[in-house]
Chain A
């Protein structure tokens, strides 16, 4: 990762329709640390408001600080209150390790790819 991304966080978000249900997808690139945690929180919040189900792609996130972990767990609880969920897509090796070390791995589901995360999402009855 270029060094200038150590203190930067880029995000891309979109809305996906799967089996008749909206799924909000947000992909981050860079690092989640003190200098970028506000942006991380804001982007997650914005994406989470679009749909009850939220996919967060962390494959290009090289670092996640303890505050970032807390933000993810909070957002996960928010999605569940809306009747949905938050699922992680392909966290990088370092982020996976931090999730496991912190115990957060037990509270956050993650999947290797977006389609696998949506496997159990069935269509809603009309």
Chain B
């Protein structure tokens, strides 16, 4: 349920589950970052911070190093996969205070899928590949070196 403590519960549960799918802690942190940004988006924009609204998060292994996280809500229909994400470097250069969440989700997932739910609401599917997360980490650390 949305409301105080919802994200804390999500993080705690994800921390318990993720090690079974992703071995490296830094890659687990990135997957958690993408999921949390997606959840915050639903709570803030979908539910307008209203407490007591349903948000279900399911994680499952697709194959080997690939897994998916499905965020299921009853918020008004909103397909964020159609929104063009901001450019992270440009946002940083402008020192923009917002607009990074979707860009980070795009960067860290291999695919995002939106499905309207019968009766209202959204399913947002985030597809992750541990190899992709490894590449992202290597690329950004190599560039920083």
Contact = CB atoms under 8 A, between A and B. Distances in A.
A39 interface: no
Contacts of A34: 7, 40, 43-44
Interface residues of A, number: 29
A122 interface: no
Contact of B95 (A6, A35, A73, A101): A73
**Chain A at the B interface: mostly helix, strand, loop or mixed?**
helix
Interface residues of B, number: 38
A106 B4 contact: no
Given A94-B26, A107-B95, A35 B107 contact: no
Given A65-B40, A66-B104, A102 B92 contact: yes
A107 B140 contact: no
Interface in B57-116: 88-89, 91-93, 95-101, 104, 107-108
The 8 A-B residue pairs with the shortest CB-CB distance in the complex, in nearest-first order: A70-B97, A7-B8, A103-B92, A66-B100, A73-B95, A103-B89, A103-B88, A94-B29
